[in-house]
Structure 1
Amino acid sequence: MRPRLVWNVFRGFWARQHVVPGRRHLSCSNLPLEELFARGGPLRTFLERQVGSEAQLQVRRPELVAVAKLLSDKEQELQETQHLLHDENEDLRKLAENEITSCEKEIAQLKHQIILLLVPSEETDKNDLILEVTAGVGGQEAMLFTSEIFDMYQQYAAFKRWHFETLEYFPSEIGGLRHASASIGGSEAYKHMKFEGGVHRVQRVPKTEKQGRIHTSTMTVAILPQPSEVNLVINPKDLRIDTKRASGAGGQHVNTTDSAVRVVHLPTGIVSECQQERSQLKNKEMAMKKLRAKLYSLQLEKETSKRYNARKIQIGTKGRSEKIRTYNFPQDRVTDHRINKSLHDLETFMQGEYLLDELVQSLKDYANYESLVEIISKKV
């Protein structure tokens, strides 16, 4: 099957599932997958080749072959059980109904397992990350919104039981936020957060607006995976480290000692600064953590740009210019434009718990399907 046809099949059933706003949870386990898994369909053909080609089992994932066989057996069982729905015995018909419900649930779970087995994990999925937020268009209102988004992610980290450490915090005069960064670490933190990078737009009436007019403001989120010592090695000779006094509204502790640290990576010109702490040593550690994340992201961009350029959902390693999400307060709605999914109850969403996690899961599901379509297109 040609790649374009495979993609059209995929896009069709996904679009039908994501045009209705609301709190409905959409995950791989309850998405209708009939079109991809249909007999003669692209995914079914691919799976049948995996199961039927005994000579190639050594180079296939044993788990995939096993689950594909289980799926085939369970579907056969479902088909046989459905014939009992027409039996004259009422008790047997009720028993068949219960068995069919159980079979359908198991089939959905097996399809979910197949998708997870087919889609390879990214090298960075288990990494920690650096979160950066920056106010965009909209003056003080943009800075207030930036502060709210930063707080939302801090609460989301607590909800996921991740570690959250503020690295930079540059507040505005009226309680907003010009720029901030934080280190987030925990179970699959980057895997969950990697699609949050991009431009976030807010539409609402600012508190300072006397005419009641709705204003539009923006802020940018960047998500940078933190590399391990093995992933990235920095030559100390490539660094220039400067110290200075922390000053202005940026530092939480403005002082008279040379505690602020500025690190320059000479080959690339990338700069990382920190004046958050009183300790120069601590600030240097934080600045190096940010620098390593920036260099690693630059490395990943070069490696993955060709692979991801064709995808609708991009990884947010840089503060990309695409508008990914709109927070519409008059309509009490947040919309992610990449998957055309809307959720209501903005107050709850901004608390960074279940609703944000639902949207994050939907983005992960969509990204998995994009990867799946690529795999099938190449192999069928």
Structure 2
Amino acid sequence: MNRSRSIMLLYGKCGFDRITRCFLSRVSDTCHAPCLQRLYHKHLCARQQTNRNSPHTLSMFGHMITLRGFHVTQSVFLSKILSVEEIFSKPSLQEYLKKMEDEYEASLKIINTMEDQSHGEEELSQKRIRVSVLTPLVQQIRDLKLKQKEFEETEALLKDNDPELRELAEMERDSCQTAIQDLRQTILSLIIPAEESDMSDLVLEVTAGVGGQEAMLFTSEMFDMYQSFAAFQGWGFDVLEYTSSEIGGLRHGSASISGPLSYKKMKFEAGVHRVQRVPKTEKQGRMHTSTMTVAILPQPTEITFTIQAKDLRIETKRASGAGGQHVNTTDSAVRIVHIPTGVVSECQQERSQIKNKETAMKVLRAKLYSMKLEEETSKRYQTRKLQIGSKGRSEKIRTYNFSQDRVTDHRIGKTMHDVRGFILGEDLLEEMSVCLQQFSQQEILLDLLGDSES
């Protein structure tokens, strides 16, 4: 390559923004999960002397996230989370990408040969759909190959005798590395199949478990946490049911949450949450362990899920509990039974029977749709249960230990300190949600590739 042409080419490509991105890329590349344990022990003493809320950075699965007081209770977390480079080094991924390219080319060839023929319209339509699905992925794969070739050419320029050319080549090399990292991340995102329910709104249900009044108090705090999290995300939060206890706790509550990616961010909150603390009701200062259950039900639209009127038995009754003169005087409470499945939904939150019926139907549809999704998921993963869990009600997923000031998610072995900051429902809960999504995406990807390696 002509030297003056090379210099002009590199000057044109290396702008200030590129240099900044290169720096960020280097930080991201050096802070991925395999380095976490070493960095944690190195800076443990220093962190104990500083504010617990000071930010630390970790790159996992191609994303930068902020961590506070982070440590790992199980080695499974470090061994499970892989960097983008580690995933791309797997032969199974390279074989999969080659397979997708071959399928794309074969489908295009069939389309070109069949367009002039009158028969085979159904097959032609299927191939066109498949090509439209594969096009974004194949384009990114080809862009990645071009960028990798450009990187190799830039590497060759580093051996040039001209110091200025070598300096520019080094800057361009860093720029190529950043572009390669971005393309790889995009390819992984395109490979992982999107769940239809991820775009849904949701119905949140919380129920007090073992622990009496303390469990109800904890359930009330958790309900408030999710309401704050919805506000933090800019989502809508409408209370559907709220059955309080005698001392201000919550026996059972439900709410409708609506907003972009609300179900995708909230779905891994489903399960049993455990609290360990000295309750307000304890006079002798003993620590108690109590539980509560969270259910996250995707809320489908009428188009994606319908219920036949003949399958419903709708009952009305008088409302009970505190609420004013209308209690026990009007049949405002509504109970709906889905006869084929036996699923029941009730509502007595509003004075209007019509509004209570609408709310009960909303919850019933969410429950039935959730049952349908669980059935499909169990069929899909019956050969290999993902460690992230089935998001079911029976799984003990997280512990909130107030005496040790920690929150531990047992599925990924992640512990965060500052319990009270966590239950505020803001950035710490967001951080946990991001980690759970990344962990789940990686498991789905490895399952898709048929790679049982952790």
Normalised-by-shorter TM-score class: 0.7 to 0.9
Query: In the alignment, what sits opposite 2:431?
Result: 358
Quote the offset at 1:315 in angstroms: 4.3
> How many angstroms apart in 2 are the aligned matches of 1:253 and 1:342?
49
User: Which structure carries more relative contact order (alpha carbon 8 Å, separation 6+)?
Assistant: 1
> How many angstroms apart in 2 are the aligned matches of 1:322 and 1:44?
35
Query: In the alignment, what sits opposite 1:233?
Result: 306
Gaps of 5+ in 1: 1-13
Structure 2 vs 1, CA of residues 134 and 15 (structure 1 numbering), >3 Å: closer, same or farther?
farther
Query: Scaled by the length of structure 1, what TM-score is found?
Result: 0.86
Structure 2 vs 1, CA of residues 25 and 241 (structure 1 numbering), >3 Å: closer, same or farther?
farther
Quote the offset at 1:103 in angstroms: 2.4
> How many angstroms apart in 1 are the aligned matches of 2:358 and 2:281?
40
Per-residue CA deviation, residues 314-362 of structure 1 (Å, 9 max, x unaligned), is 343x52x111111122222212111222222222221212221121122
Pick aligned residue for 1:296 from 345, 361, 369 = 369
Per-residue CA deviation, residues 244-302 of structure 1 (Å, 9 max, x unaligned), is 221125x6996232211111112221111001111111111101111111111222222
Quote the offset at 1:16 in angstroms: 4.6
> How many angstroms apart in 2 are the aligned matches of 1:254 and 1:26?
56
Quote the offset at 1:213 in angstroms: 3.1
Query: In the alignment, what sits opposite 2:208?
Result: 135
2:361 counterpart of 1:311: no
Pick aligned residue for 1:28 from 61, 70, 84 = 61
> How many angstroms apart in 2 are the aligned matches of 1:305 and 1:233?
22
Write out aligned runs for 1:1-380 (5 A): 16=34, 24=57, 26-30=59-63, 32-38=83-89, 41-51=91-101, 54-56=105-107, 59-60=130-131, 61-84=134-157, 89-248=162-321, 255=327, 256-309=329-382, 310-316=385-391, 318-319=392-393, 321-377=394-450
Q: Which has the larger radius of gyration?
A: 2
**SS state of the match for residue 194, structure 1?**
helix
Q: Does structure 1 conserve the Cα–Cα contact (< 8 Å) formed by 2:33 and 2:60?
A: no
Structure 2 vs 1, CA of residues 17 and 208 (structure 1 numbering), >3 Å: closer, same or farther?
farther
Quote the offset at 1:143 in angstroms: 1.1
* Larger helix proportion of the pair: 2
Structure 2 vs 1, CA of residues 208 and 254 (structure 1 numbering), >3 Å: closer, same or farther?
farther
Q: Does structure 2 conserve the Cα–Cα contact (< 8 Å) formed by 1:138 and 1:216?
A: yes
Structure 2 vs 1, CA of residues 300 and 206 (structure 1 numbering), >3 Å: closer, same or farther?
same
What amino acid is the match of 1:154? Q
What amino acid is the match of 2:62? S
Structure 2 vs 1, CA of residues 98 and 354 (structure 1 numbering), >3 Å: closer, same or farther?
farther
Q: Does structure 2 conserve the Cα–Cα contact (< 8 Å) formed by 1:51 and 1:69?
A: no
What amino acid is the match of 2:424? Q
Query: Scaled by the length of structure 2, what TM-score is found?
Result: 0.73
Per-residue CA deviation, residues 171-210 of structure 1 (Å, 9 max, x unaligned), is 1111111110111111122122111110111122223334
Work out the percentage of aligned pairs sharing the same amino acid.
57
Quote the offset at 1:24 in angstroms: 4.2
Q: Does structure 2 conserve the Cα–Cα contact (< 8 Å) formed by 1:115 and 1:368?
A: no
Q: Does structure 1 conserve the Cα–Cα contact (< 8 Å) formed by 2:386 and 2:443?
A: yes
Give the aligned CA root-mean-square deviation in angstroms. 2.6
> How many angstroms apart in 2 are the aligned matches of 1:72 and 1:66?
10
Quote the offset at 1:93 in angstroms: 4.3
> How many angstroms apart in 1 are the aligned matches of 2:155 and 2:185?
23
